[in-house]
Amino acid sequence: MRAQIPPKGDAARARRDPEKYFISIFGEPTMKGTWGWRLEGHHLALNFTVKDGSLFRSTPCFFGSNPGEIRQGPRTGIRPLSAEEDLGRALAKSLNDDQWKKALIQETAFKDILTEAKRQVSPLTPDGLSDADLTADQKAQLQTLLKEHLFRIRPEVADAAWQEILAGGPIHFAWAGSREPNQGHYYRIQGKSFVVEYDNTQNNANHVHTAWRDFDSDFGLDLLSEHLKTAHQPVK
């Protein structure tokens, strides 16, 4: 069962309507077995996979904001994704010269996040600065930044993902573009099983995209993999 898709001729306009959101359900909602659901609108995509009555995965997860900062009218000054920007910049500016040389992967920020809206994401090169090269205070800053992206969903769900990330080995922090406000910038946080991306370059660096992706488990793909291995073995 899926939500109705807007007519093709108006699809692009409808997807950008700030008051239109769509809910899709995949499979049969039940306390046994696996199913999923999605909430999606322009600049928002939340995906959840449920297994045997418990939430199994909550990726891919996308938040965006255009404008990133409202600069006129009665809501002037509102910045919906301000913490994601400010915490990232604070960490970037805390780096010494040697750390910055490792963290900076490109002088100009990318035009958008690199993972794109694809069903399955391939791991990007874990470029940038390893958390092994950070001070204790900087490691705490990196963890605070990463939690800002993860804990936008229910804490008990995010905490399960957080524990997996902590157990997954080194985490890399990469930056592209300027460290100054109102100039194009991008950062990426990547570990063994996940990547978080932030990009603010469009509309004169006032248009934010963020994404949290899991290399193995987006849309519950690891469950699908298990099913294919056990139920669809080739006949010998």
Is the model more confident about 12 or about 219? Answer: 219
pLDDT band, very low/low/confident/very high, at 4 (cuts 50, 70, 90): very low
Give how far Cα 213 sits from Cα of 72, 197, 228, Å.
34, 9, 22
pLDDT value of position 1: 33
For residue 236, what is the enclosing H or E element? none
pLDDT value of position 141: 98
Classify strands 104-106 and 21-26 as parallel, antiparallel or unpaired.
unpaired
Give CA 61 to chain center in angstroms.
Answer: 5
Q: Give the integer Cα–Cα distance in Å for 9 and 6.
A: 8
pLDDT value of position 154: 86
Predicted TM-score (pTM) of the model is: 0.85
pLDDT value of position 43: 92
pLDDT at 5 over 70: no
Q: Give the bridge partners for 195, in sequence order.
A: 190, 213
For 104-150, the DSSP string reads: EEESS--SS-SS-S-SSPPPPP--SEEGGGS-HHHHHHHHHHHHHHH
Mean pLDDT of the chain: 87
pLDDT of 145-201, one tens digit each? 999 999 998 888 899 899 999 999 999 999 999 999 999 999 999 999 899 999 999
Residue 147 near residue 156, CB atoms below 8 Å: no
Is the model more confident about 224 or about 136? Answer: 136
pLDDT band, very low/low/confident/very high, at 236 (cuts 50, 70, 90): low
